[in-house]
Structure 1
Amino acid sequence: MKANADRAPYDELASDRATRWWVRGNRVGSVQRAGKFVDDVGFALLFPAPRPIGPSLWEAVAGEDAEPFGGGMGEDEQKVWGWKDELPRRGLAWYGAYLGGRGSFLSPALLAAIYPGAGELDDHEHLDLSPGAHEIAGALATEPLSSAALRLILGDKNKYQRAIGELQRNLLVTTAGVQESSNGWPAALLTLTCEQFDVGGRRDHSRATLQYLDTMLDASAAELARAFRWSPARARELLDQLVDTDRATSDGSRYRPLSPP
């Protein structure tokens, strides 16, 4: 009986998250609704992770029991794979390798709240990045370029992957649609985040923390720190501020949002 009692809070949280993360209810069936989903939850993975680090667009489209690519590239897989380029092209959501190093979406509001620069073309120059990352950012300051073109600039596929990963972890680069290539497979078109979204001068880590907690429903300072790449001390400080202003509650290690009166 005790095992069942211990499990009950986790089952309740999973159920609450399924509702909050649009897993239950009407499915997401259009790119416009996908944009509304990301705007509501603030951040989402493209496909679910083994542990619940956040909602996923896949589950909002296909449901909680569907396995991506279980039967190859089906209709749902084609939708979400295409939307990862279309959502940022339309300015509905930022996309890049961010949460847990996985393909992730951020709403424009959350992006602005955690973007690290001033919203200028030279934002990369003020961050500690590799020479390859600076080279890519400098090239994109001139015009959007395909992933294939950027690989040619660096001359090495692995060097390109490391550099673009750096830029996306720092939210400096996003996709902006696709470009047809000579091999028949479309290549992602990349651009600077500040060219595609209104960022810079709007940083608000308190707002970002509230969004994170409102979406996760239950979280620790360590989980928040990993999600947005903050120090654990900074994450705890921000969460404690929510508790002090009656926007969250805590048992000393985990935090939950308080519903507005």
Structure 2
Amino acid sequence: MPRCPLPSEIEEYRDALWQRENTACVDTALQAERFIERVGFTACMTDARQPGPSLYVAVCGRRDAIMPRNVQKDPESSHTWMLKDELVRRGRVYYGKLARGKAMFLAPRMIPYFRALWGVPRREEKKRLSRSALAVLKMLRKEWEMATADLRAGSGIADRKRFMQALDELQMAMIVLPSEVVYQPKFSYLWGLAEERFPQELVRKVDRQTALREIARCFLAGAGLTIPGELARVTGLSRPEAGLGNRALVEEGYAVMVTPGTYRLAALTVAALYERRQFSSLENRRRS
């Protein structure tokens, strides 16, 4: 579906905040971590055809970045993939398949809000998780960290598809995440418990209304303006939930409703856009 064109000043605002400029390309793991902390949450391997911030687009440093069909021979795709592996290994940002199976990075500050919406509390695991997911989880709680093949064997799930679905289910419940990537003797993820890596963030209690508002705030801060359905597509929220989050921002004066479903950052005046652009240029020169 073609994307609704945005005002040029909004695209330029996003260029600066989402690092879609060749003067602000993400090259190292440290730069990637700073990018994720700045945007709050981001997709990993999406391109210009999908909305929202993207690590791949930030690596490319251009607004119109399109991932080629043969990604194995594409240096930017390969570099993004290697950065992803290094970020998983470093463990300073959250990575996993979240709502609707979207592979995303979260800054630690955003983990409590995502968990409030999609996490499964321990007391509800037996009621909400499938038998396969419970079998995988039981094995991980015994061993704490296991390679994919060992985890599958230990959980007793012979069917590979059912096992991978169980892993996806546990990731979307924010219980399990990849903790390491190994390439020898063969490629495999190591899997661990999310609570082991991010204990403080995952025990913080947040109500659903606050979570919707703060996720909407985080996205709008980087987007400048959000159009109908955009927040829902980026995060996996339903459209009504995304609307609740955006309207909460309007009530507190953080956002302005331009038309139904379209919200603009209240502080985003022409003067503010110019100042942001000047500041971004200085920051880019400093980073380079």
Q: How high is the TM-score relative to the length of structure 2? A: 0.75
Structure 2's unaligned 5+ residue stretches are 273-288
* Greater helix proportion: 2
Q: Which amino acid aligns with 2:250?
A: V
**Please, which of 147, 153, 158 is the counterpart of residue 155 of structure 1?**
158
Q: CA deviation at 1:227?
A: 4.2
Q: CA deviation at 1:221?
A: 6.5
Q: CA deviation at 1:54?
A: 1.6
What CA distance in whole angstroms lies between the structure 2 residues aligned with 1:10 and 1:99? 29
Secondary structure at the counterpart of residue 115 of structure 1: helix
CA RMSD of aligned residues (A): 3.1
Q: Assess if the C-alpha contact under 8 Å between 1:120 and 1:194 holds in 2.
A: no
Does residue 23 of the first structure (1) align with residue 31 of the second (2)?
no
Q: Assess if the C-alpha contact under 8 Å between 2:113 and 2:214 holds in 1.
A: yes
**Please, which of 249, 258, 263 is the counterpart of residue 255 of structure 1?**
263
Tell me the residue number matched to 1:209. Answer: 216
What CA distance in whole angstroms lies between the structure 1 residues aligned with 2:72 and 2:149? 25
Seen in structure 2, the aligned counterparts of structure 1 residues 249 and 121 have a Cα distance that, compared at 3 Å, is: closer
Tell me the residue number matched to 1:219. Answer: 226
Alignment coverage as a number of residue pairs? 253
Q: Which amino acid aligns with 2:264?
A: R
Q: CA deviation at 1:145?
A: 1.3
Seen in structure 2, the aligned counterparts of structure 1 residues 66 and 224 have a Cα distance that, compared at 3 Å, is: closer
Q: Assess if the C-alpha contact under 8 Å between 2:88 and 2:178 holds in 1.
A: yes
Q: CA deviation at 1:232?
A: 3.5
What CA distance in whole angstroms lies between the structure 1 residues aligned with 2:244 and 2:133? 31
What CA distance in whole angstroms lies between the structure 2 residues aligned with 1:239 and 1:247? 9
Secondary structure at the counterpart of residue 46 of structure 2: coil
Tell me the residue number matched to 2:176. Answer: 173
Tell me the residue number matched to 1:164. Answer: 167
Q: Which amino acid aligns with 1:259?
A: A
Q: How high is the TM-score relative to the length of structure 1? A: 0.82
Q: CA deviation at 1:105?
A: 1.0
Seen in structure 2, the aligned counterparts of structure 1 residues 36 and 10 have a Cα distance that, compared at 3 Å, is: same
Structure 1's unaligned 5+ residue stretches are 1-6
Q: Assess if the C-alpha contact under 8 Å between 2:148 and 2:191 holds in 1.
A: yes
Q: Deviations over 1:139-197 (max 9, x none)?
A: 2223111122223332221002211222222222221112455xx32311111211111
Seen in structure 2, the aligned counterparts of structure 1 residues 132 and 90 have a Cα distance that, compared at 3 Å, is: same
What CA distance in whole angstroms lies between the structure 1 residues aligned with 2:30 and 2:13? 25
Tell me the residue number matched to 1:3. Answer: none
What CA distance in whole angstroms lies between the structure 2 residues aligned with 1:120 and 1:97? 14
Tell me the residue number matched to 1:86. Answer: 86
Identical residues among aligned pairs (%): 26
